[in-house]
Each structure stands twice: as structure tokens, then as C-alpha cells.
Amino acid sequence: MPLFSRDGIEFHYREVGEGAPFVFQHGLGGDTSQPLGIFQPPPGFRLLTMDCRGHGETRPLGDVAKISIAVFADDVVALLDHLGVRRAVVGGISMGSAVALSLALRYPQRVLGLVLSRAAWLDGPLQSNVRIYTGLARLIRQHGARRAEELFRESDDYRSVRRVSPDTADSLLRQFQNPRIEETVVKMERIAVDAPCRSLKELEAIAVPTLVLAGRQDPIHPYTYGAILARAIPGAEFRELTPKSIDKDRHAAEVQRFVADFLLRRLGGKNAATEPRAV
């Protein structure tokens, strides 16, 4: 299992393929299996993905004050340094897209391109998500994961989400089933109220090829958020995804097709310069 050390934490990461690096990060409560399960790099690209702090096989939790979108972006830059990668395409799903956006704004010299899929944050948190995720965390702290799941299934929030998107409701239930959730529950409290930037005006500075993906029927990841990001980032491309609740396989196939096409068409001729691998 490949690991690198930072801040007293062993970060787990994975890589697939060879060529220009593309970092694709998971969502809140996910791990490297999420991006790897939905995307395989086309020829000429090397997919990199890591478990964020408090996620997957990255251990221990570390300083809870550092559970933030900006620090998660700093950790991705540390992965690039560890691998000797000077510039990469960066992207992510949900929370991962917020991490990628933070990285692109704060480390523009490290970014070749940007892929933002199913955004759930803009220049501030989505208040309905804050209520849901902080509510999940409160249930877990008060009752433990097993009983908390039972109580959440009986809640109005769960029923409301399930009416619109059964797949999204199931993804919320999976938060309780994470074997480390009681240890890492702080991530839901801190990330839900965070944001990748403080003003959409900041996005006007992004000067790399950008792809934005969004779907309808998803209360956690509003379609409008994708449209707003695509308008705010100069020259961004926008693609609509089939909702996962309608057809999961079609949704995954579209992510694969849209992202691979973007990489090959906009960045296929660019080779990211590298430095010797850190030791």
C-alpha cells in the first residue's frame, strides 16, 4: 500500500497508468475507491488519487483543526511533491471538487487543468448540507453509529432526500457504515461548513482548461452549482450528467467519456514536467 508522511500522518494514495498526471479526489466520507470506480485514465495519462485526512486508509486523524478544504488541498500538493510532479491536472467529486478548486486558486503554478464534478460548495457552504451533515455528526456523537443510522432513517431529512434521489439517500446511510466514522466524525462537522473560496470573483483568475460536470435530481450536489461554476471560470466547459438515481451505469459511463475526452482534447499534447521522486 503506497504511503507518504506529512504532519505525523501516513497518507494512502494510488496511481494508475502512465503519462501526464491527473489527480482525481473523492467526496466527503469516501476514499480512493470512489474516483477509481468511476474513471480510468486514457492512454498518456496517469491517474493519482489519495485518501484525505480522516478518510480511508490515511491514519491517524491528526490535528482536528487541520480538517479543512484548504489543508486537504495542501496535502494533495504534498503528494505531488512526494512524487516529483511539478504540474498536474487536478479534479474531484463533490468535496474533491472543492479541494481541487482550492488548490487551483492557491497554487496556480501547479495546475495544468481543472475537473469539477458534482460540486456541493461555492464561495460558502450549502446550508441544507450543513444541516444534514452536522445533524448526522450529532446523532453519531450522541448514540454511536449503529443507533444513529436507525434514527436518521426515521428523520424528515432522510425521507426528503430519498424522495428526490434514492441514490443520494443511500450515500448518506453509507456514512454511518464507515468503520472509522466514530473516530473521524469531526470531518462532517468541519468540512460541511467550509468553502474553497470566499468570493466567486476569485474564479476569474483561473486560466487553465476547465471541465465542470453536474446532474439534476441531486439535493446534495445542485445542478445550479455546476452551472454557476462554469459561468464564473473563464472558458470552462460544462457537461450534464445523467442522475445516478436514474441510471448509475450511464452516469459512470458519462463521467468516463466526458473526462477522458476533455483530457485528450485539451491536454493530451501537454506533458507535465517532473522532478526526481522524493525520498
HSE on the CB side for 104, CA within 13 Å?
29
Q: CA 128 to CA 136: how far, in whole Å? A: 12
Share of the chain above pLDDT 70, in %: 96
User: Is 103 a residue whose pLDDT tops 90?
Assistant: yes
- Overall average pLDDT of the 126-152 stretch: 97
- How many other C-beta atoms are found inside a 10 Å radius of the C-beta of residue 253? 14
At 45, list the grid cell: 495519462
User: Is 128 a residue whose pLDDT tops 50?
Assistant: yes
Confidence grade of residue 279 (pLDDT, cut at 50, 70, 90):
very low
**What digits encode the pLDDT tens for the residues 75-89?**
999 999 999 999 999
The secondary structure of 13-42, three-state, reads EEEEECEEEEEEECCCCCCCHHHHHHCCCC
Q: CA 251 to CA 165: how far, in whole Å? A: 14
Ranges for all domains in the chain classified under CATH 3.40.50.1820: 3-123+194-267
pLDDT of residue 1: 85
Domain 3-123+194-267 falls under CATH 3.40.640.10 = no
| b (16+ CB within 10 A) / e for 15-28 | bebebbbbbbbbbb
